[in-house]
């Protein structure tokens, strides 16, 4: 797990935006940058071991014998060595020969093969004609050609495939050359497994991205001087990220930013204040207010606690849904966005009426909603703002190099929604 300050997340998203003229940064790009110079050196100086094998050899070439060889020698007919060697003048002896077929070289050969395939896939799917002449695209193309050339090296020809499940040996863990190979090889295997799993958990992955963008947007608002809304961080928080994905998710629940102090301003004067909490859906059941909203299916709950005297119990909640719509073109129409907003508003109203019927303690006075849709085809964000019949619906670019645009747009929309709730 890594802890990353939320302020760094904004810088990271800005860096992604600056790379929009380059193909997407993937694992193979990092491997190409780090390993291109060292791979030819490693292949040229492969580790080898000296094997000992019993075989029939001309007697003038025998330099070593063991017990089994001596037993064979005694069993041969004849009195002298020449007579025992027979017409072929051969006896059983110990032959020594060098072999490159060791575990570390098996891993190296498989690594070269996988890098070749991954480079070709990256060039076909990420580079294409658009980025063919970019620095990153050319680097991966050259690295793929280098790996293919090294894979066909005569020294590697007789090296077998690695046996799955075999633990790393001393060379992979301690030899500086092979330590790097082993590190990148494991990451490459894990990436392939993660990619297969992410196809099964696309919705959870998009929900993770939306939580990231919402959290970063609120942190961004703390750094801006808005005339109508002021957001201040009460406590600093750090994002915790897994090194591996779990059911499509990498972000640990409970590492959202905040809480925040939100002030509504009029002509520079504070009119109302509230404490804003961000509650992850996986922890909603532990929260007294968000715990009532689990049936809404929200992925994130923004809970406002008014600070005015006598208004402490008049809580307000913004329910955020992450709608994975990256694989469809339907959400590009304004009518479809409005339909999604009406559906969300109906669900909110129905759930609020159900909770009001039971007169539950701590019931939020007002509930609003925001649906964040990802779009692979659009490069500019769009939104349908809430009214009495619809919830707010945002359509944002899903591609990482466009996340800065999404971040700026979400910050504007959140400022509008929070100001309305206050």
Residue 267 banded pLDDT, cuts 50, 70, 90: confident
- pLDDT confidence of residue 193: 63
Edge-to-edge strand ranges of the sheet holding 392-397: 229-233, 260-266, 269-280, 300-306, 316-323, 366-375, 392-397, 382-384
Give me the DSSP letters along 91-158: EEEEEEEEE--SHHHHHHHHHHHHHHHHHHHHIIIIITTTTTTSHHHHHHHHHHHHHHHHHT-GGGTT
* Mean residue pLDDT across the chain: 86
10-19, 206-215, 340-349: range with lowest mean pLDDT: 10-19
pTM: 0.72
> What does the pLDDT read at residue 365?
85
Burial classification of residue 335, based on how many CB atoms lie within 10 Å of its CB (0-12 exposed, 13-18 middle, 19 or more buried): exposed
* Segment 138-197, tens digit of pLDDT: 999 999 999 999 999 998 988 999 988 889 999 999 999 999 999 999 988 887 666 655
Over residues 314-358, the pLDDT tens digits come to 889 999 999 887 766 666 677 888 888 889 888 988 888 888 877
Tell me the per-residue pLDDT of 347-358, one tens digit each, with 9 for 90 and over.
Answer: 988 888 888 877
In tens, the pLDDT along 30-42 reads 999 999 999 999 9
Are residues 7 and 257 in contact, defined by beta-carbon separation less than 8 angstroms? Answer: no
Residue ranges per domain, the chain? 2-46+102-200, 49-99, 202-421
Dihedral of alpha carbons 36, 37, 40, 42, sign? negative
Mean pLDDT value of segment 274-281: 92
Tokens of 285: 């059941």
Tens digits of per-residue pLDDT, 85-140?
888 899 988 888 788 889 999 999 999 999 999 999 999 888 887 787 888 889 99
């Amino acid at each position: 797990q890594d802890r990353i300050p939320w302020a760094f997340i904004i810088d990271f998203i800005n860096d992604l935006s600056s790379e929009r003229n380059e193909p997407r940064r993937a694992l193979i790009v990092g491997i190409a940058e780090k390993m291109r110079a060292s791979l030819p050196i490693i292949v040229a100086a492969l580790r080898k071991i000296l094997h000992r094998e019993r075989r029939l050899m001309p007697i003038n070439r025998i330099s070593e014998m063991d017990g089994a060889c001596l037993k064979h020698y005694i069993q041969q007919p004849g009195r002298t060595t020449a007579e025992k060697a027979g017409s072929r003048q051969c006896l059983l002896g110990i032959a020594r020969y060098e072999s490159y077929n060791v575990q570390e070289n098996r891993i190296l050969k498989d690594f070269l093969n996988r890098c070749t395939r991954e480079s070709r896939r990256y060039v076909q799917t990420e580079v294409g004609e658009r980025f063919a002449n970019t620095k990153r695209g050319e680097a991966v193309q050259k690295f793929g050609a280098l790996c293919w050339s090294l894979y066909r090296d005569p020294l590697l020809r007789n090296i077998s495939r690695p046996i799955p499940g075999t633990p790393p040996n001393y060379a992979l863990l301690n030899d500086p050359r092979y330590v790097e190979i082993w590190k990148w090889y494991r990451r490459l295997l894990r990436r392939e497994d993660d990619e297969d799993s992410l196809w099964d958990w696309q919705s959870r992955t998009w929900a993770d991205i939306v939580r990231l963008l919402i959290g970063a947007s609120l942190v961004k608002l703390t750094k801006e001087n808005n005339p109508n809304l002021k957001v201040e961080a009460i406590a600093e928080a750090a994002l915790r990220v897994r090194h591996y994905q779990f059911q499509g998710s990498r972000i640990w629940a409970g590492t959202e930013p905040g809480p925040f102090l939100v002030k509504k301003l009029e002509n520079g004067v504070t009119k109302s204040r509230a404490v804003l909490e961000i509650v992850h859906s996986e922890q909603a059941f532990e929260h007294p207010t968000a715990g009532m909203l689990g049936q809404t299916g929200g992925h994130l709950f923004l809970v406002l606690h008014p600070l005015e005297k006598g208004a402490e119990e008049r809580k307000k909640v913004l329910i955020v849904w992450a709608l994975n719509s990256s694989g469809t073109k339907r959400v590009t129409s304004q009518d479809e966005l409005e339909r999604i907003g009406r559906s969300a508003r109906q669900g909110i109203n129905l759930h609020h009426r159900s909770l009001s019927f039971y007169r539950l303690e701590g019931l939020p006075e007002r509930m609003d909603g925001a649906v964040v849709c990802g779009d692979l085809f659009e490069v500019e964000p769009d939104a349908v703002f809430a009214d009495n019949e619809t919830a707010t619906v945002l359509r944002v670019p899903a591609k990482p190099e466009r996340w800065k645009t999404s971040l700026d747009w979400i910050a504007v929309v959140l400022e509008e929604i929070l100001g309305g709730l206050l």
